[in-house]
Amino acid sequence: MTVSLIIQKYGGSSVASTDHIRRVAMKVASTKIQGNKVAVVVSAMGRQTDQLLNLAAEISNNPSGREQDALVATGEQVCAALLAITLESLGHKAMSLMGLQLPLITDNVHTKARIIEMQTERIEHILSEDIIPVVAGFQGVTESGCISTLGRGGSDTTAVALAASLNAGCCEIYTDVNGVYTADPNICPKARHIKIISYQEMLELAGLGAKVLHSRSVELAQKYQVPLVVKSSFGGDKNTWIVNEEEVMENSIIKGVTLEKDVSKISLIRVPDRPGIAHKILSPLADAAINVDMIIQNASIDGYTDFTFTIPTTDLDKAKTLIDEVAREIDAQKMLAANNIVKVSAVGIGIKTNPGVASRMFHSLSAENINIEMISTSEYRISCVIEEKYGELAVRAVHKAFGLDKDNKEKAET
Ligand code: ASP
Ligand code: MG
């Protein structure tokens, strides 16, 4: 019998205290005792990353990315070492590994670096010696030897990258969330648990603020065909498998509804409408690694147009500074910025084959008297930007409109 390799990733809430870490160690040990090889990836304990960032904020409101990464990477280092110590205390051979020890090589975009290469020689050797590797998630090292991090929530991506490069049988993501739901149960009490979902749908949900998985981790899992399962670290059987589209049997048009709060918009008013304008406006943002999401350019009147786009609120200040400069350069009349907006999205593989999905969503919003400010659609999702105060109401309305409420589906679930 070939021994299969399982990658287990434990998120911050699963390792929040030494007691939690002890519980995790037992789970890891029992996976091993059952005859598997296991490698572990951990996040920082509890809210450690936030606490470290707060310390930096007490000193400076603009710490350099390089030092910020050096600071927050310690959170995962502490946790990996503590888990290795716990495993040793239980009589298992274990070894903690930092990103730079693997090494996991990234580009040099500090605070949201992307993986260039995961080297596996060292970890393969450790596994062959029957030692349990405990990898510090979220962190890597740049080609010039600086510590980097993969963006908030990035430990998931470390885990999937490891699973892909080691050709693991599966990647288990343990979290305090009880699997993946059709909507956030705190917002929508009628949300249902999803047992199986396609990579593509999960990618949309993850990208839209369903905070279960780091988007990049789902992208990687799809690219390298890593079977991914989200499990609760506190027991229970509410697992969610993330697999290929063809393997998802249940055929609902919409799989879930999300609310993204970290959204801001910037508008440039009365922009001279000529070739190259969109590029002029957006390229400084691309250079600063700011993700622009929705873009609307109004039809031009008298050679002028308005240009509006959305970005993550965390990048708003930086974007405002950049766009202010562009506005002067291209002679726009003025720049407006707002962060009192949210994005509500309906996600599902059925969108591309079912006409009328968008209109059903718009109807459900209008029935609640909610005004839609911006719209975007793709094969797998329809998103509407609306006023922040209507966000939660909108999620419930859309959830109901697509028959996702528990009442409608109770039979399917039990
Ligand atoms: N500790 C990091 C964060 O809080 C990475 C992670 O949890 O995946 O974002
Ligand atoms: Mg997470």
CA distances from 100 to 70, 91, 138, 144, 146 (A): 12, 27, 11, 11, 9
Distance from the alpha carbon of residue 40 to the mean position of ligand 1, in angstroms: 15
Tokens of 359: 């209109």
Tell me the CA–centroid distance for residue 138 and ligand 1, in Å: 6
Low-confidence ranges of the chain (pLDDT < 70): 1-2, 208-210, 249-251, 408-414
**Among 395, 360, 367, 361, residue whose Cα is nearest residue 259:** 395
- Give the Cα separation of 5 and 17 in Å (integer): 27
Instruction: State the alpha helices, DSSP H only, in 181-276.
Output: 199-207, 215-223
Parallel, antiparallel or unpaired: strands 132-136 and 94-97: parallel
The backbone region for 74, taken as left when phi is positive above 0, alpha when psi lies in -120 to 50, beta otherwise, is alpha
Does the CB atom of residue 49 touch ligand 1 within 6 A? yes
Q: What angle do CA 316, 320, 323 make, to 5 degrees?
A: 130
Q: Angle, to 10 degrees, between the axis of helix 391-401 and the axis of helix 357-367? A: 130
Is the Cβ atom of 155 under 6 angstroms away from ligand 1?
yes
Locate the domains of the chain by residue range.
5-176, 257-413
| Cβ-proximal residues to 82 (8 Å cutoff; 6+ apart), any chain | 15, 18, 21, 45
Ligand 1 atom 5: the closest Cα is on which residue? 153
Q: Does ligand 1 lie within 6 Å of residue 256's CB atom?
A: no
Q: What was the pLDDT predicted at 98?
A: 98
pLDDT digit string, tens, across residues 295-354: 988 888 889 999 999 999 999 999 999 999 999 999 999 999 999 999 999 999 889 888
Atom number of ligand 1 nearest to Cα 152: 9
| Amino acid 210: pLDDT | 63
Q: Would you put residue 252 in left (φ > 0), alpha (ψ -120 to 50) or beta?
A: beta
Same-fold call for 5-176 versus 257-413 = no
Query: In the structure encoding, which two tokens stand for residue 389, read together?
Result: 């105060």
Residue 137 beta carbon below 6 angstroms from any ligand 1 atom: yes
> Span 5-176: which CATH code?
3.40.1160.10
Does the domain made of 257-413 have the CATH classification 1.10.3720.10?
Answer: no
Q: Ligand 1 centre and the CA of 147: distance in Å?
A: 15
Name the pTM for this structure. Answer: 0.81
